[in-house]
Amino acid sequence: MRQKVMIGMLALAAILLVRNLYVISVLPDEVNQGQIFRIIFFHVPAAVAAMTGSAVALIASVLFLVKKDFFYDSLAVAVTEVGLAFLAVNLVTGSIWARVIWGVWWAWDPRLTSALVCWVLYAGYLILRQALEEPTQRATFAAVYSIFAFTDVPIVYFSIRWWRTLHPQPVFFNKNGSFPADWSAALRLNLIALFLFYAVLTMIRLRQEQAQREIDYLRRTVHAM
Amino acid sequence: MTVHFLMPLAALLQAPDDAIRDEIGRLQRNFQGLIWGFVAAWVILMAYTLMIVFRERKIRREMERLKNMVEDSGKKS
């Protein structure tokens, strides 16, 4: 059943993404930026998906510390790892966009820097997990670290409001945004497609984490025999 | 409507050669940037997906191996 749901979600994501590629290609160019502005259709959804993943990781980490249920630990690591890939998409597409519009690949601007720090923090979360052998200790330390890492997420989101930055103000999640309706619809659909893809990858990683736990148990059983 | 559509072309015809070259170069860089952006996004997501697929195979093999070991140990004892 779970397998069928995953395949269905993946198929829906693929259909939406292919359809969106067509819709994005026929939209008119943005007045000031031209064609490159279309990168927003991946740049923003990837960021939103990654940030949502961070929030899920935070909740799962808190729930693990409260309930000591390893399911939440598995969920936190699954959602964090997938989020890291999506955040990498956001950073790389942003960098390419910056090269075309600002003339530089990277600027140490509050939004860009805080997003990079966020990526490094969550990469550190995965490295920390590799460094600890004992499962309960690993899950507890990782949960505390994940809660700490999440403190950067609001900084990433609000950085463009708190400080003067090169990065433009939000045009989509903003009442004063100037995003035309047809562009908003395309962005929303791409957001749904990437969320579906994110969810499928998380479900697979979650299953893998649970299988890995079973493998650890079997290894201990074999050693005990 | 037709006049509006042809206006950029008319402006280009009146512009000096250098300006046309600059504009074509800008449009080319713009389009290349877009393509690289899309390619990069898909390469990252596909590379990660492949990583997950390979990990899945590794986990299945390891699970099979350990289950066989447990079964063999059970039979011996």
Which amino acid is present at A98? Answer: A
User: In chain B, which residues have their Cβ closer than 8 Å to the Cβ of A82?
Assistant: 48
* pLDDT recorded at residue A181: 79
Query: Residue type at A95?
Result: S
- Residue A85 near residue B48, CB atoms below 8 Å: yes
B70–A221 C-beta distance less than 8 A: yes
Are A205 and A46 spatial neighbours (Cβ–Cβ below 8 Å)? no
Give A33→chain B minimum CA distance, Å. Answer: 8
In 3D space, the residue among A102, A27, A47, A169 whose CA is nearest the CA of residue B29 turns out to be A102
Cα separation of A105 and A87, whole Å?
A: 17
Contact A222 B52 (CB under 8 A): no
Task: Judge: B26–A99 Cβ closer than 8 Å, yes or no.
Answer: no
Residues of B in Cβ contact (< 8 Å) with A212: 59
Contacts of A181 (CB under 8 A, 6+ apart): none
Burial class (CB in 10 A: 0-12, 13-18, 19+), A205: buried
**Which of B52, B65, B70 is best to mutate for the A interface (most A CBs within 10 A)?**
B52
Residues in CB range of A184: below 8 A, 6 or more apart: A172
Contact residues for A119 (Cβ-Cβ < 8 A; gap 6+): A84, A87, A88, A91
The SS3 assignment for A30 reads: strand
pLDDT digits (tens, 9 = 90+) for B15-54: 777 888 887 888 888 888 889 999 999 999 999 999 999 9
Interface test with B, best of A24, A77, A92, A119 (most B CBs within 10 A): A92
The answer to whether the CB atoms of B59 and A215 lie below 8 A apart is: yes
For the cut 70, the answer to whether the pLDDT of residue B3 exceeds it is: no
B44 to chain A: which residues are within 8 Å by CB? 85, 88-89, 92
ipTM given for this complex:
0.88
Return the pLDDT at B6.
64
Rounded to a whole number of angstroms, the distance from the CA of B37 to the nearest CA of chain A is 5
Q: Does A219 touch chain B (CB under 8 A)?
A: yes
Nearest CA to A45 out of A197, A152, A188, A196 is that of: A188
| Cβ neighbours, 10 Å, residue A86 | 28
CA dihedral A159, A160, A162, A164 (to 10 degrees): 120
Q: How near does any CA of chain A get to the CA of B1, in Å?
A: 15
Which pLDDT tens digits describe chain A residue by residue (225 residues)?
778 888 898 899 889 888 888 888 888 888 778 888 889 999 999 999 999 999 999 999 999 999 999 999 999 999 999 999 999 999 999 999 999 999 899 999 999 999 999 999 999 999 999 999 888 999 999 999 999 999 999 999 999 989 888 888 777 666 666 677 788 888 899 999 999 999 999 999 999 999 999 998 888 888 777
The radius of gyration computed from the CA coordinates of chain B, to the nearest angstrom, equals: 30
Residues of chain B with Cβ-Cβ distance to A38 below 8 Å are: 34
A214 touches chain B (CB under 8 A): yes
Listed by start position, the domains of chain B span 2-76
Q: Is A109 helix (H, G, I), strand (E, B) or coil?
A: coil
- Whether the pLDDT of residue B2 is over 50: the answer is no
